[in-house]
Structures are given as structure tokens and as C-alpha cells.
Structure 1
Amino acid sequence: METALIIGASGGIGSALVRTLEKREVKVTSLSRSADGLDVTDEASVKAHLGALSGPFDLIFVATGALELNGRGPEKALKEIRPEVMLEQFRLNCMGPALVLKEAARLLPRDCRTVFAALSARVGSIGDNHLGGWYSYRTAKAALNQMIRGASIELKRTHRQSICVALHPGTVATLLTSKYAGGRESHTPDAAARDLLGVLGNLEPKDTGSFFDWSGKPVPW
């Protein structure tokens, strides 16, 4: 891997990805809302920022997303669902990566291995949902997974060696997730970055359209 584009580079995992890649002497282009004004939920913003890039990139990684929005955390019951919260979750966690991929497809090389990855979450798995709750976040991540699956099929037609995947990073010790860890073992953003890049490094074009966790194990849709 020689070139990479990290979207959401100011976040815990995004910044760790940048650090890790730069240590490996990968040429990294980073974009974020706080540093560059990129709003992945605004199509004009995505077009302007990605339209200014020429590529190609061996890796495009979308590390945006949020569990809490405007101070509102995951719902515990149906009665807590708020339409505006559900829409905001969908805009950030599904529509954002979709808009990025829409504009970024031209930045992926067509004649060699290339990877597009987006951070998903195990709670977005329909098959692995045994607890219920967290309706808006689960639904938005499930929608993201479907978008990645569909996009992988389309990309394969023009980018035969492309790999388009969703990734579950595990429980990562960041400010945004600390109160939802629930006693589960967590790992640092740097460890998560190394794990996720390790997973991507082992994937082949036949793995496109899949959902993996940080250890490389497939996650059910």
C-alpha cells in the first residue's frame, strides 16, 4: 500500500489510522470536519472536498460515525424512538459513507488491488441481534452494511480487483464510547487501527462485499 485517504481523520480511530499508516511510510491524505470542514452528510461538501483530490488511492477508509448525536444516546425501548434522532443517525452513519463512495469511486485505481472500507458495528448485524434496543444506531449501521454490499457488486464491474467491506472495530477506548462499554474489554485506537489494517491487508478481491470484525472473522449480516 502506497497511498491512502482517511475520511474522519480527526476521530479516535481515524487519527490512529493516519498515525499507523504514516509510520509505514504510506502517503496519507486526511479529511475531517474539524480540520477541513468536510461534512459527510452534505453532498455539496463531499463533492467539493473529494472533487479537489486526484488520487488514485490504494485505500479509502471512512472512519466517521457516532453512537451519540446531540447528546442523545441509544434508545432502550420503542417508546424512546424519536424520528429526528433516527434520521440523523441514518444521515451520519449510512448516508455519509454512501456520499463519500459516490464521489470516491473515481479515485480508486481500476487496474490493481484497491480497498474501500467503512466503519460499521456488530450491533448493526441483524443476525447477531439478541438484545434488541439501540434502534436508531442499529438500523443506521444495518443500512450501511447493505449499502456496502450493493456498492461492492457495482464496483466489481469496473474495478475487478476492488475490495469493498464493512468493518467492526470492537470496543475501542474513546470518549464517545466509554460509557457504553458495559464492562467489555476495550482496546486503544492505535491497537484498533493496527488490527483493522491487518484485516484489510489479508483480504482478496473475492472477499469484497463482506463484513469483518477486527480479528478478521466474518460478522453475520
Structure 2
Amino acid sequence: MESALIIGDSGGIGGALGRELRGRGTAVTGLSRSEHALDVTDEASVEAALGALDGPFDLIFVATGALEIGGAEPEKALRDLTPTALMNQVALNALGPALVLKHAQRLLPRRERAVFAALSARVGSIGDNRLGGWYSYRAAKAALNQLMHGAAIELARSHRHLCVACLHPGTVQTAFTEKYLDRHPSVPADEAAKRLANVLENLTPEHTGGFYDYAMREIPW
């Protein structure tokens, strides 16, 4: 990949992926809330930030997201579900990446291979849900997967060499997951970035619309 745009490059995974790609010779442009006041839940903010860029980018990677928003932790039971928590999760983890893709279409090449990928999570899989709980986060990631899958179908008509994919990075040691690391095996952000970069290098138009983990294994919807 010659050029990449990372949305959320100040975060643990986004920052690590930027370093990894630069080490592989890719020119990386980053946008984030903390450094560029980019709010992916605000369409005017997304449109202004992406409108100021010149493409094309071989890779656009959306690394934004949150497990807790406004102090609301993942629900342990249905009685913990609140409208505010659910809507906040959907806005950031599903709508945000979709708005980025909406306004990033002009930055993607039409005649060369390109990848648009968004960070999803295995817990967003309906078919793989065996534990329940985490209602808002699970629903938001499932919504993200549907949005990206639908966009992949549409964009295949205009960008025949594009792959739109949702990626599960595994449990990564970042501030995002700090409170939950004792429950799952985890890897440092730099290791997760290497694995994600390998997947990104191997995605082709034949993979568009798919949901894959860090080893490029397909995850059920």
C-alpha cells in the first residue's frame, strides 16, 4: 500500500497501525478527535475533515470506537439497558464509520485496488453470541457490520477493485479494554497492528463485504 488514511490515529490501535504501516513504507495521514476535532458522529465534522484531503488513498481504516461512553459500562443484564447508552453506542460505533465511508468515496481510487476497513468486534456477531449481555455494544457492532456489508455491495458497482471489510483485532491491550483484560487473552497494540496490517495487505475485492478476524478467518454474522 502506498498511501493510507487512518481515522482515529491517536488511539491505541490506530496509532500502532500508523506506526506499522509507516514501517512498511506506506505514507500515512491521520485524523482524530483529540488532534483535529474530528467527531465521527457529527456529519458536518466528517464532511469538513475529509473534504480538506486530497486522495486517492489505497487504504482508509476507521479505528474509532468505545466500549464505554459517558460512564456507561457494558450491560450485564437486560435490566441495565438504557436508551441513552444504546443510542450513544450506535452513534459512535456504527454511524461514525458509515459517515466516514459516505464522505470518503471520492478519496478511494476507482481503477486500482483499495481497502476500506472498520474496526468491528467478534461480540458483534449474532451467530457467535453464546454469553448474552453487553447489549448496546453488541448491537452497535452488529449494526456496523450490516452498514459496511450493504455499502460493499453498492460500491462494488462503481469501485470494482475495492474491498470493504469489518475486522476484529482480538483483545488488545489499550485504555479501551484496560478494565476487561483479565477476562480474555490479549496482545499489545503493536502486535495487533502487525496482524491487522497483514490482513489488510491480503484483502482483495473478492473479500468485500466480509467480517474477518486478525488471522483473516471469517466470522459468522
Instruction: Give the TM interval when normalised to the shorter protein.
Output: over 0.9
> Where do residues 34-53 of structure 1 align in structure 2 (5 Å cutoff)?
34-53=34-53
- 1:43-100 deviation per Cα after TM superposition (whole angstroms, max 9, x unaligned): 0000000000110000000000000111211001111011011000000000000100
Q: Which residue of 2 aligns with 1:139?
A: 139
Tell me the residue number matched to 2:104: 104
Give 5+ residue unaligned stretches, structure 1.
none
Note the 1:171-190 alignment, pairs <5 A. 171-190=171-190
Task: Indicate if the aligned counterparts of 2:2 and 2:58 stay in contact, CA closer than 8 A.
Answer: yes
- Runs of 4+ aligned structure 1 residues displaced above 3 Å come to none
Q: Aligned pair count?
A: 221
**Conserved 8 A contact 2:115-2:203:** no
Partner SS, residue 163 of structure 2: strand
Letter in 2 for 1:66: A
- For residues 88-136 of structure 1, what are the alpha-carbon distances to aligned partners after superposition, in whole Å with 9 as ceiling and x for unaligned? 0000000000100000011000001000000000000000000000000
After alignment, is 172-181 or 140-149 more displaced? Answer: 172-181
Mean Cα deviation higher: 113-122 or 181-190: 181-190
Q: 1:16 and 1:174 mapped to 2: Cα distance? A: 10
Q: How does 1:70-219 map to 2 (within 5 A)?
A: 70-219=70-219
Write the letter of the residue equivalent to 2:65: G
Tell me the amino acid that sits aligned with residue 218 of structure 2: P
Q: Distance in 2 between matches of 1:157 and 1:203?
A: 18
Please, what TM-score do these two structures have when normalized by structure 1? 0.98
Counterpart for residue 2 of structure 2: 2
**1:16 equivalent in alignment to 2:22:** no
Q: Distance in 1 between matches of 2:182 and 2:77?
A: 18
Once the 2 structures are TM-superposed, how far is the Cα of residue 181 of structure 1 from its aligned partner?
Answer: 2.5
Residues in 2 aligned to 1:100 and 1:204: alpha-carbon distance in whole angstroms:
21
Q: Which residue of 1 aligns with 2:65?
A: 65
Pairwise CA distance, 1:183: 3.4
Query: Residue type of the partner of 2:125?
Result: S
The equivalent residue for 1:33 is 33
SS of 1:196 mapped into structure 2: helix
Q: What CA distance in whole angstroms lies between the structure 2 residues aligned with 1:111 and 1:85?
A: 41
SS where residue 165 of structure 2 aligns? strand
Compute the TM-score of the two structures, normalised by the length of structure 2: 0.98
- Percent same amino acid at aligned positions? 63
Distance in structure 1 (CA, Å) of the matches to 2:199 and 2:54: 26
CA shift at 1:191, angstroms?
0.7
| Aligned-partner Cα distance in 1 for 2:67–2:139 | 12
Aligned-pair CA distance for 1:200 = 1.5
Structure 2: 5+ residue stretches without partners? none
C-alpha deviation, 1:175, in angstroms = 1.7
Secondary structure of residue in 2 paired with 1:157: coil
- Let me know the Cα RMSD of the aligned residues: 0.7
